[in-house]
Chain A
Amino acid sequence: MARHVVAKVDELDTGKSKLVKVAGRDIALFNVKGEFFAIANRCPHEGADLCRGQMVGLAESDEPGQYRMTRHGELVRCPWHGWEFDIRTGKSWCDPARTRVKSFDVSVSKGGALTEGPYQAETFPVSIDEDYVVVEI
């Protein structure tokens, strides 16, 4: 396991997503209301880029004619066939047991805290005063 600095916090606004490459893997990074999450970018169905998907809420209903929208922006909808994945867990909404994408641990650290320890920040320079998104793989 290594921790990889993948982005500056201020380069990914709430409700936005971004493709990052870490240790040869394509990872979709999401900002959900200020929290960062990372899942494998490739949809297990036909391979579309999940980082291009719309971040949506969860539409539910207890009976016909009643609607409930919750968890705004916490699911990503595949840009091709619309499969919904929970950004927090990588699980598909329709088939959570069998259809899921790998989810990675994400944290935010000050640049100053990243200058020491087992961090990988090959792709861009880290400055002490700024906040960074760190993915663990």
Chain B
Amino acid sequence: MSEAQTLERPVEAKAKYNLIDCDIHPSMKSPAEIHPYLSQRWRDHLATYGGHTRQGLSETLSHPRMVPEVSRVDSWPPAGGPPGSDLPFLREQHLDGLGIDLGVLVPLRFNASGQRHPDLAVALATAINDWQIGKFLEPEPRLRGSIIATQEDPASAVAEINRRASDKRFLQILLPPRSIEPLGKRRHWPIFEAAVSHNLPISMHVGGVGGHQATGAGWPSYYIEEHHSQVQTMEAVIASLIFEGVFEQFPQLKLSFVEGGFSWVPAYGWRMDKAWAAMRDEVPHVKRQPSEYLRENIWFTTQPMEEPNPAKNLADTLRWIGTDRLMFSTDYPHWDFDDPRYAFKVPLTADEKAAIFAGNAVNFYGLN
């Protein structure tokens, strides 16, 4: 082949994003890091009364975790502070280390949606959004933010979403799956209306404190036991969204379910479809098979990767869900982190891999 022919061959444009991480947890050197983003009134309030979420021992995690700060042992920054609190080290170990083109922050600190004091909840949500900008989004263009919004107070949530929507550094609205009532309830619909009007997807990351027991069967004894209850919660949220008719009312609504696993999704769809065939007339506003909404309105992130034996069996599950619906995530710096180089032991085509590692997130977040 001559040189001229080589030069004339159409060259495919290099993809802008090859690796997008949909779940990075930023943290603070100390809780006082939020102070510059709160008014004196709320700094005084926190110093005097503290925050109180809807659970016993309200300043603790809902269950003891496996390792300090729930984090990889090797993710503590050499310069001090907890994992995820030091931007230079986050860059070096995670963004540069793995070649991540875009990382989405999922801040969990202060749990604004779970705060019982309604005005403190709003102040904290706004402060955490400003803190994301000041500490991470301004200095590091590879990082994008999540709009923290107070799910239990939809009017305030909508105000916060409206305030942030024009700032394209925020890619999504973050809501907790554990809440006082399931997400699909009509009182939450103003949040969906705002999301759709701004073309912002909603992300549900495991956790939240709605004041209820972690499982329908009561409080688990162990972390390993409680860990699995996240799946039940995700299932409950999905059923609520579908059967309340949210996707009929807001067909453009996009949601991602983060860190709740995904191998249960196909079976859950089959089961809902079977029930719908029998009981459809109880919810005539649900016009299509439940699995169709699942397939069209909902995305799932991959971490913690499912690891069946043999690993190749996972290929069927991935394709049942839709390889266009799965988005790569690491959960950095948390202990159950997935490494993009080694987490996928299942054989996938080059196109499927490209979609899972970046393309699906580009579509979900509307980055193209």
Contacts and interface: CB of A to CB of B under 8 A. Distances in A.
B342 A45 contact: yes
Contacts of A82: 66-67, 335
Interface in B292-342: 335-339, 341-342
Given A46-B342, A47-B341, A81 B73 contact: no
B74 A79 contact: yes
B43 interface: no
Contact of B74 (A45, A49, A81): A49
Interface in B58-93: 66-67, 72-74
Given A79-B73, A79-B74, A46 B343 contact: yes
Interface in A48-66: 48-49, 52-54
Q: Which of B74, B336, B341 has the most CB of A within 10 A?
A: B74
Contacts of B74: 48-49, 52, 79-80
Contacts of B335: 80-82
Contacts of A79: 72-74
Contacts of A81: 335-337
**Interface pairs A-B: 7 shortest CB-CB:** A79-B73, A46-B342, A52-B74, A46-B339, A79-B74, A47-B342, A80-B72
Contacts of B72: 48, 79-80
Contacts of A80: 72-74, 335-337
A49 to B, nearest CB: 6
A38 B74 CA distance: 20
Nearest to A49: B74
13 contacts: A46-B338, A46-B343, A47-B339, A47-B342, A48-B72, A79-B72, A79-B73, A80-B73, A80-B74, A80-B336, A81-B335, A81-B336, A81-B337
Interface residues of A, number: 12
Nearest to B333: A80
A48 B71 CA distance: 13
A80 B71 CA distance: 8
A47 B340 CA distance: 11
Nearest to A64: B221
A46 B307 CA distance: 12
A53 B338 contact: no
Nearest to A77: B73
A82 B335 CA distance: 8
Contacts of A47: 339, 341-342
Nearest to A52: B74
Interface in A72-130: 79-82
A88 to B, nearest CB: 21
A16 B335 CA distance: 21
Interface in B192-214: none
Contacts of B73: 52-54, 79-80
Interface in B126-182: none
B139 to A, nearest CB: 27
Contacts of A45: 342
Contacts of A54: 73
A49 B342 CA distance: 14
A137 to B, nearest CB: 24
Q: Which of A47, A52, A54, A79 has the most CB of B within 10 A?
A: A79
Nearest to A42: B342
A79 B74 CA distance: 6
Contacts of B67: 82
Interface string A14-52: 000000000000000000000000000000011111001
A51 to B, nearest CB: 9
Q: Which of A49, A54, A79, A80 has the most CB of B within 10 A?
A: A80
